[in-house]
A = this chain, B = another copy of it.
Amino acid sequence: MSIAVFYAPNAKDFSYLSEEESFHAIRVLRLKVGEVIHLLDGRGSKYATKISAIEGKKVSFGALELIESEPKPSYTIHLYVAPTKQMERMEWMVEKCGEFGIHGIHFFASKNSERKEIKLHRLEKTAISALKQSKNLYLPEITGLHTFKEISAKKGEEKLFAFISNPPVAVLSKTALKGKEYHVLVGPEGDFTSDESATLKNNHWKPFSLGKSILRTETAGIAVCHGLHILNID
């Protein structure tokens, strides 16, 4: 059997698992004191350790041995999305982007948004589970709901937004530069309003096309994340 992996962002400071991860260790996996486990801090490090105590609902662990680490990547991807009505679609997007590897997923409300509030906890759980499954070492930060104004005024190295127009603008791979800190906006199903597009252009966001097909919001998010990884393969 493979070794169980847990998410422990503060493993270096606190030598016990969170309530949720402890529950998973005790009730689902039925682990015992002395068993080896792996810990991910979600910031590039993976540790091996042993369960040192199980007290009530709390799993404590012993000394940490660093077994894998990844330096800061040469590019980072932050995705900004106007969430869909069905939260299931956003969960899928978080899971798939998490599998490909992503650094942040941020939700915002725009004029045509279908959803004006969002609960992040379930999405964070989805991201943690994708982190464990994919063997990636960076957990994306998930934030929101932001206002469109806040997002459009954001500073950033390489700022891009998905733009539907006829004739279409250039595609992502011809618009984005390599090795950057990417910030990419994907609008709602009803698209950005022309006022919003103008605001973005004025704030130095570059428009790009996702091609001829009309993609759903979550598909556009996945396409951006996967497309930027492909662009950065040497």
Interface residues of A, Cβ cutoff 8 Å to B: 92, 96, 99-101, 133-136, 171, 173-174, 211-216, 219, 222-223, 226-227, 229-230, 233
Name the B residues within 8 Å of A173 (CB-CB).
230, 233
A233 to B208 alpha-carbon distance, docked (Å): 14
- Determine the chain B residues whose CB is within 8 A of the CB of A213 once the complex forms: 99-101, 134-136
Known: A134-B214, A135-B213. 8 other contacts (CB 8 A): A99-B215, A100-B213, A100-B219, A100-B223, A135-B212, A135-B214, A211-B233, A230-B230
Chain B residues with CB under 8 Å of A222's CB are 96, 222, 226
Distance in angstroms between the alpha carbons of A222 and B220 in the assembled complex: 12
Q: Closest CB-CB distance, A98 to chain B, in whole Å? A: 9
Residues on B with beta carbons closer than 8 Å to the beta carbon of A96: 219, 222
Task: Identify A219's interface contact among B99, B215, B230, B233, CB under 8 A.
Answer: B99
Closest CB in chain B relative to A48 CB, distance in Å: 19
A170 to chain B: closest CB distance in Å?
10
